[in-house]
Amino acid sequence: MSADLLRRAAAKLRERAEAATAAPWTAEAGWVRSPSAKAQVREKDGALAVCRQVADAAYIEMLHPPVALALAVVFESLAGCMTTAGACRDERLEAVAYAVLREDGESA
């Protein structure tokens, strides 16, 4: 894992979170716009996402922008640790960074 990987993942999280509608978000069950929709994620001014499953709406609600920003801080802190200490590898966070970037980690 490199500090660059973590910085790229942090930048992507920060970019997406800052561009997203501000929290708080709420998940609501019920028919929404189409028979296949069973839930929606809402913010104070309206729907953000329409979902086929209530669990999908609850998951989206849980990962609102402040969560992404907090994870970006974790990635940036670990990248800084790697730069100064040289050895702060955490394979679990490496997997999360690859997932954020939608990379497989095999070619890196």
**Model confidence over 32-63: pLDDT tens digits?**
666 677 777 888 777 788 888 888 888 888 88
Contact 93, 78 (CB under 8 A): yes
Task: Summarize pLDDT for 68-107 with one digit per residue, the tens.
Answer: 999 999 999 888 887 666 567 777 888 889 999 988 765 4
pLDDT, residue 21, reads 87
Longest Cα–Cα distance of the chain, Å, equals 55
- One DSSP character per residue, 51-84 reads ESSHHHHHHHHHT-HHHHHHHHHHHHHHHHHHHH
Compute how many other C-beta atoms are within 10 angstroms of the C-beta atom of residue 81.
16
Map out the domains of the chain as residue ranges: 1-20+64-108, 21-63
